[in-house]
Structure 1
Amino acid sequence: MEEEYIKLIFGLKLKQIRTEKNLSLFGLSKLSGLSKSYLNEIENGKKYPKPDKIALLSDKLEVPYDQMVSLRLDKNLAPIGELLQSKILKEIPLELFGIKESNLIDIVANAPTKVTAFISTIIEIAHHYSFSKESFFLAAVRSFQEANNNYFEDLEQQVLKFAKAYQVDLNRFLGSKVLEEILVEEYGYVINENELSKNEALGNLRSVFVPQTKTLLLANGIDEAQRTFIFAKEIAYNYLEITDRLHTFPWIKFQRFDQVLNNFYASYFAGALIIPKEDLSSQLENFFEKERFDATHFLQMLEGFNASPESFYQRLTNILPKSFNIKNLFFLRFTHKEGSEKFFLNKELHLTHHHSPRANETNEHYCRRWVSLKGLKEISKSGKDHEFGLQVSHYPSHGTTYLVLSSATKDPFRNNQYRSISIGLLINKQLERKVNFLGDKAIPWRDVGVTCERCGIIDCEVRQAPAIVLDKEAKNKKIEKIVEELNFRFQS
């Protein structure tokens, strides 16, 4: 057991016993002869008393010595012990969020009952929705991204330093050969492109890194853009001197929070290297100046970088907030199997907290009017490699409107599987100042909801389920109104 944990548990127990006996700190000080400040430090987990002091407190409080020093907590404090013993507070670098661990401990020590109730609620929700440690870590990183508008200047500068040191021209199309040469010559990598294909169970993996021999195993089916991203990410791990890392792409399991965070850092570095900030910012400025939306121009911009649509859209979430002050945006990735009516939201980022949806396990039906879902349906029928869609999505229930751009593509590693990537920009004064083509009448405009169960749009032609959540809310409001009327009639 860590010393800090033992101190805090003893302090929590002492405070609980003192409170149950209706003693103030002053009263316990008079009773025991120990100073009030000393007792306060014990209760706040800052000091652990010597055995003679524990024996004194045990005698004066009439509590067995063994009970005082036991690390076993009663049911009222058990959730706090579970949180502290899980080492979650140690695994997550709280300083990323401007939080000191000592502040959290003070909060726990000063309001144990309320904090226990809160923690119990979080644990119950996590168990109810099968919220894994990996999901918790990913949510923490996503919050970290959102708190920083998904832009990290230190990583942008590291990319510039790397490009200068290795004479990589950021003004030219970056191919995988350039990065492969650096991995092999500078970092001693061995590239193997035959082994992964021998194992059918590894069909979804793009790459596996074996650190002992610096061997990078690549899947046969990856295209040039995926290959370049994998190499760029491996360079990031080496150039940024990251050792606590994941060894598969995509990831299988996170063991520590640092691995999740480092995976994000490496991915960000790779995206910034393949899609340089200055180049993309300049192209976007020219694109936004047009009075009509030019789909051909947008696709040429996307295809001008050696990157997948997902990497390109992700990079937009870095550049738009920084270079254009467009911060009210969201990023979504859906997957879909041909012939199925199910759509799975498995990646999201919200730089504003107003937008829906957020990933949930309610098994509700996402709005089929979304351009991202429409694109998935179209590409599963057309057989094309890429379906691009554009739409102004208006949420009547929220009073918000978004310009949404979406790309649907085939999943190269799964038969009859497709994915769509979308970025939505909140239409407000800032977007109107930066984007001239917002007034283009050719852009489709649709009223949308979040899920069918929560949507009040009448006679929707693609509704998948009745609005049961809204119906329940309406029923409850009707009951409330009747009760209010009865109270008014019979109050005198």
Structure 2
Amino acid sequence: MNIEEEYIRLIFGLKLRQIRMEKNLSLFGLSKLSNISKSYLNEIEKGKKYPKTDKIAILANVLEVPYDNLVSLKLDKNLAPLGEILQSKILKEVPLELFGIQESDLIDIISNAPAKVNAFISTLIEIAQNYNLSRESFFLAALRSYQEAHNNYFEDIEDSVEKFAKAYQINLQEKIKCDDLEEILIEEFGYTILKKGLNKYSNLSDIRSVFIPKSKTLLLSKTIGESQKTFIYGKEIAYNYLNLTDRLYTFPWIKFQRFDQVLNNFMASYFAGALIIPRKNIVEDLKLFFDEPKWSSSKFNDMILKYTDSPETFYTRLTNILPKVFHFKNLFFLRFTNKDQENRYKLSKELHITQQQPPTANEIHEHYCRRWVSVALLNFLEKSKITTDIQISNYPDNHLKYIVISSGTKDPFKEGYNRSISIGLLLSPLLNSKINFLTDNSIISKEVGVTCERCPIKDCEVRFCEATELEKQAENKAIENMVKQIQNDYS
């Protein structure tokens, strides 16, 4: 369907409905005046049909509006934001089908309550502008919602990995070899791989790979290690094996043009992670680890290094397996980064399963709690070594407790930067029944906040700034109580 035609139908339907409502006419009433059936008028207003010129002339006459005004694509100021949204094709970009929503459902909502929907859309636009929400951020937020709605587990991709391994004789019981994946890319998919192909491009120091589709050439950075190379090869195999044609050509990504690119990038990454860390293997390892009576950072690190030297790849795989296999469906995943000697920390990646677990990224430049294990260990990292720690985090505001495991490394791609990857599991009877080491008294328990500005903890030894937001709330509450007292005094 031509999108321009669709847009014209929608705008005409919105204008017709708006004018009819201003004239205090029902659909039945307009049908009587125009001799056009009520059902056909209803389809026009919902953007499903566009009337012929003779019917437009009749409608313009009975509604007492100029013909040109009725067919104009210009909306009045009350509906202008709706026109911008429709013309921008945003409804085509939003992955509605992922959530079981038909585009027609939204059109019905818009046509039934255009003023309210317009106010809602205007609010979203204002929020997006205030927080500098980019197109990419919007797409990534939609992807996170999609992951969370499926508990971040995708059976079809898991099955595809096992079918691929069987078809190409990859032994999933052994650590995946980078050379094996490289051979498949070259022999099966016709790739040319230049392992130092990005060396001469000094301004691409943060880019690890670039794929040239016309010549099927994969250029790699000389800075990447074997694990990173294996992951990149795994993603390239996924694009070909899963037939994901609308894709990104750099890793990490630079810019998304369409949501399909975001989704396909995720699917390829999921495939690569499931290939490097097969589900059967990690399930067996986790069961053994959870049976341990005592927490052991070294054993946890050994489990990571069995598959990869990238904690992020391992922790991401945990977010697939723990909700599905172990039924730990209240969890969060966080990636923090910071620069050496700087007391500022950026939450650069997050995922929340089942509900919005604390903490979440904030866009108002507040300061994350320094009591989090994920933040604290960033100050104690050693080069070429994974540092892992564990903590029970107690949020006094909402009475929730999490067991949080965090692993940090020096950033392998940015000199002088650090990163930590964490997973937090909500403490519950189910968790206690499946993880023996939770009774280990050596695990430190701490009260934590989300940001210093909103933290109720008194005498915090690592507080970065005062609880200014809480102070504002207390001041406003005091004023509210005083006003109530005045009302009571003079009632």
TM-score scaled to structure 2, two decimals?
Answer: 0.98
Conserved? CA contact 1:174–1:306, under 8 Å: no
- Determine the structure 2 residue equivalent to 1:386: 386
Query: Could you tell me which of 4, 9, 12 is aligned with 1:10?
Result: 12
Q: State the percentage of identical aligned residues.
A: 61
Amino acid at match of 2:480: E
Q: Deviations over 1:357-381 (max 9, x none)?
A: 32222010000001011111112xx
1:410 equivalent in alignment to 2:410: yes
Farther off after superposition, 395-404 or 294-303: 294-303
- Determine the structure 2 residue equivalent to 1:481: 481
1:60-209 equivalence runs, <5 A = 60-209=62-211
Deviation at 1:433, TM superposition (A): 1.6
Deviation at 1:91, TM superposition (A): 2.3
Secondary structure, aligned partner of 2:199 = helix
Secondary structure, aligned partner of 1:319 = helix
Amino acid at match of 2:278: P
Query: Could you tell me which of 307, 310, 315 is aligned with 1:308?
Result: 310
Q: Over aligned residues, Cα RMSD in angstroms?
A: 1.1
Deviation at 1:85, TM superposition (A): 1.5
Amino acid at match of 1:6: I
Q: Report the Cα distance in structure 1 between the residues aligned to 2:68 and 2:132, rounded to whole angstroms.
A: 37
Q: Report the Cα distance in structure 2 between the residues aligned to 1:438 and 1:283, rounded to whole angstroms.
A: 17
Q: Report the Cα distance in structure 1 between the residues aligned to 2:50 and 2:430, rounded to whole angstroms.
A: 56
Q: Report the Cα distance in structure 2 between the residues aligned to 1:324 and 1:48, rounded to whole angstroms.
A: 54
Q: Deviations over 1:444-482 (max 9, x none)?
A: 111000000000000001111110111111111111111
1:270-285 equivalence runs, <5 A = 270-285=272-287
- Determine the structure 2 residue equivalent to 1:288: 290
Conserved? CA contact 1:274–1:307, under 8 Å: no
Q: Deviations over 1:149-171 (max 9, x none)?
A: 00000000000100000000000
Structure 1 residues 109 and 307: CA distance shift in structure 2, 3 A: farther
Structure 1 residues 296 and 383: CA distance shift in structure 2, 3 A: closer
Conserved? CA contact 1:368–1:462, under 8 Å: yes
- Determine the structure 2 residue equivalent to 1:56: 58
Conserved? CA contact 1:337–1:416, under 8 Å: yes
Amino acid at match of 2:176: L
Q: Report the Cα distance in structure 2 between the residues aligned to 1:285 and 1:37, rounded to whole angstroms.
A: 61
Conserved? CA contact 1:228–1:306, under 8 Å: no
Farther off after superposition, 38-47 or 199-208: 38-47
Q: Deviations over 1:94-153 (max 9, x none)?
A: 111011111111001101000000000000100111100000000000000000000000
Conserved? CA contact 1:229–1:307, under 8 Å: no
Secondary structure, aligned partner of 2:458 = coil
Deviation at 1:194, TM superposition (A): 2.4
Secondary structure, aligned partner of 1:331 = strand
Q: Report the Cα distance in structure 2 between the residues aligned to 1:77 and 1:209, rounded to whole angstroms.
A: 44
Conserved? CA contact 1:92–1:258, under 8 Å: no
Secondary structure, aligned partner of 1:364 = coil
Q: Report the Cα distance in structure 1 between the residues aligned to 2:181 and 2:439, rounded to whole angstroms.
A: 42
- Determine the structure 2 residue equivalent to 1:434: 434
Q: Report the Cα distance in structure 2 between the residues aligned to 1:306 and 1:299, rounded to whole angstroms.
A: 10
Q: Which runs of 5+ in 2 are unaligned?
A: none
Q: Which runs of 5+ in 1 are unaligned?
A: none
TM-score scaled to structure 1, two decimals?
Answer: 0.98
Conserved? CA contact 2:151–2:354, under 8 Å: no
- Determine the structure 2 residue equivalent to 1:239: 241
Structure 1 residues 191 and 384: CA distance shift in structure 2, 3 A: closer
1:300-379 equivalence runs, <5 A = 300-379=302-381
Amino acid at match of 2:88: S
Q: Deviations over 1:46-102 (max 9, x none)?
A: 111110010011111111111100111111111111111222221233111011111
Conserved? CA contact 2:95–2:142, under 8 Å: no
Q: Report the Cα distance in structure 1 between the residues aligned to 2:429 and 2:487, rounded to whole angstroms.
A: 47
Amino acid at match of 1:478: A
Equivalenced residue count is 489
